[in-house]
Amino acid sequence: MTETRKNARILFVLSAITAIGFIVMLIGVTTNASFIQQFDTYWIDIIRVHITASKTDFIAFITKFGGVPAVVMMSVVLLLVFLFLKRYTIAIWFTSVVLIGGALLPWIIKQLVARPRPSDMLVAQGGYSFPSGHATGSTAFYGMIAALLIIACSKMWQRLAIGLVALLIILTIMYTRVYLGVHYPSDVTAGFLLGSTAVFSGSALFLLYSQKCHNYLIAHNWKDNYRQK
């Protein structure tokens, strides 16, 4: 087994684990399972404390960096950068994972599950609650940026640092949604698991098929600058 296939296999295993976790949360929410209620109550009691107007205003500002409009806008900017640099293979990979796995898929699931939002929101927020679009979108977007940087780095400590920073950003976004009362903890946890599934599976497919995509583009006179290590 080549190193590329080995890494892809590991990523597929990770995506399967996070997908199973998401399915468990999904079943728990749709059946109103007691473990979901206990999970939500436990984390709400920890997160929703010391609520003040100034703290709420600051957190309301921070949470915007994980919203679907912000994620889509930043993704489009990065897409334009990739196109300008003629990194077409990477552009296809990044945009597909973020916009499909991070924006479209959670929106579809929201409509199907139709879970009402909590009743004690600190800011106005429409739509349904499960899964959190902010958590899914930020996990897909910042996770994919981390994946790109990790591929570019050769030292393990650099890769670990990048992964930890991305995780911290995602967890911060998740925290803001629960603090503001616009999501239950199970919503943001499910969003994280769904976004992680998109990143892991998308990265595995990239490892396996990016070279074929590059070769196809070259054969059709697209000057794709991508090179697989």
139 pLDDT tier (thresholds 50, 70, 90): very high
Predicted pLDDT at 1: 53
Residues 21-43, mean pLDDT to the nearest whole number: 95
Q: pLDDT confidence of 30, banded at 50, 70, 90? A: very high
**Per-residue model confidence (pLDDT) at position 200:** 92
Which of 173, 153, 176 lies closest to 163, judged by CA?
Answer: 153
* Least confident among 1-10, 163-172, 199-208, 220-229: 220-229
| Percent of the chain's residues with pLDDT above 90 | 48
* Neighbouring C-alpha atoms within 13 Å toward the C-beta of 74: 18
pLDDT at 15 > cutoff 90 = yes
Identify the burial level of 165 via C-beta atoms within 10 angstroms of its C-beta, where 0-12 means exposed, 13-18 middle and 19 or more buried. middle
Over residues 184-189, the mean pLDDT reads 96
Mean pLDDT of the chain: 88
Provide CB contacts within 8 A for 206, sequence distance 6+: 93
Lowest mean pLDDT among 48-52, 110-114, 216-220: 216-220
Please, which residues have CB within 8 angstroms of residue 226's CB and are 6 or more apart in sequence?
87, 88, 89, 90, 210, 214
pLDDT of 22 above 90: yes
Give the Cα separation of 31 and 10 in Å (integer). 32
Report the share of the chain in percent with pLDDT over 70.
Answer: 97
pTM for this predicted structure = 0.89
Vertex 86 angle, CA 160 and 166, to 5°: 20
Q: Is the pLDDT of residue 229 over 60?
A: no
